[in-house]
Copies of this chain bind each other. A is one copy, B any other.
Amino acid sequence: MQTISREDYLKAILKIEEEAGSVSNQSLVEKLSTRPASVTNMLHTLADAGWVEHEAYKGVRLTDSGKEIALSTLRKHRLWEVFLVDKLNFSWDEVHQWAEDLEHVGDEELTNRLDAFLGHPAFDPHGDPIPTAQGQWSDGRNLIPASKAVVGDRIQLKGVVDSGEAYLQHLDRLKIELGLILVVSKSLDFDESKTLIWPDGSEASLSKQTLQNMLVEKLSRKGKE
């Protein structure tokens, strides 16, 4: 039977599979801010339910049924985030905590109605793709970290690697939001920082760290698009 905790674990496993390819217990300890013994324990529970395959000391993999639950939970999470931002006017750094709860409410029917009400959004407020009702789950876009952009590039922010509150608020303070187009005007070899130009002409220098977490699309360098 599904519980909040089990859904959270399955979702975490899915995300780590995507990001890292393989899922260690340690990676779950970090992602879920928990303890090794708790992870081992839950993996046994999930394996008994047939949602993961787990061999002691070898790691863990989602089964088809586990992946289905994980994708459904992720879909709900991201749809609720869209709701909170688009309809209740929260900012992108405030919504994760509530979506973490809301993702455990409702069934497929409720989720599909929410999806329709929101106009079938393809991406959540952090630029992450929303799995479809059929569990389709691929980005299609070809995003690169802003740290890879070179002087002269026009880049548009399409997502973030780290959607933690601290980082998002940092971007807020820099007046950087999804969709914003920036031009790279300088690049410092020394610390790998870059100076960027905003549409209003102002500029600022961003650290390597900040740039690495910004996922951007390279736009054509000349024309207005």
Residues of A within 8 A of B (CB): 84, 87-90, 98, 101-102, 104-106, 110, 113-114, 117
Q: Which residue of B lies closest to A112 (CB)?
A: B88
Chain B residue contacts of A87, Cβ below 8 A: 117
Chain B residue contacts of A89, Cβ below 8 A: 113
* A101-B106 Cα distance, complex, nearest whole Å: 8
- Once the chains bind, are B117 and A88 in contact (CB under 8 Å)? yes
- Once the chains bind, are A113 and B88 in contact (CB under 8 Å)? yes
* A104-B88 Cα distance, complex, nearest whole Å: 18
Chain B nearest Cβ from A42, distance in angstroms: 20
Q: Which residue of B lies closest to A105 (CB)?
A: B101
Chain B nearest Cβ from A106, distance in angstroms: 6
Of A88, A90, A98, A101, which is in contact with the most chain B CB atoms at under 10 Å from its CB?
Answer: A88
Q: How many copies of the polypeptide does the oligomer hold?
A: 2
Chain B nearest Cβ from A148, distance in angstroms: 38
* A–B pairs, 18, beta carbons within 8 Å: A84-B110, A87-B117, A88-B110, A88-B113, A88-B114, A88-B117, A89-B113, A90-B110, A90-B113, A98-B105, A98-B106, A98-B110, A101-B104, A101-B105, A101-B106, A102-B102, A102-B105, A105-B105
Chain B nearest Cβ from A109, distance in angstroms: 9
Chain B nearest Cβ from A76, distance in angstroms: 12
* A104-B104 Cα distance, complex, nearest whole Å: 11
Q: Which residue of B lies closest to A116 (CB)?
A: B88
Besides A84-B110, A88-B110, A102-B105, 15 other A-B contacts (C-beta < 8 A): A87-B117, A88-B113, A88-B114, A88-B117, A89-B113, A90-B110, A90-B113, A98-B105, A98-B106, A98-B110, A101-B104, A101-B105, A101-B106, A102-B102, A105-B105
Chain B nearest Cβ from A95, distance in angstroms: 10
* A112-B103 Cα distance, complex, nearest whole Å: 20
Chain B residue contacts of A84, Cβ below 8 A: 110
Chain B residue contacts of A98, Cβ below 8 A: 105-106, 110
* A87-B106 Cα distance, complex, nearest whole Å: 15
Chain B nearest Cβ from A15, distance in angstroms: 22
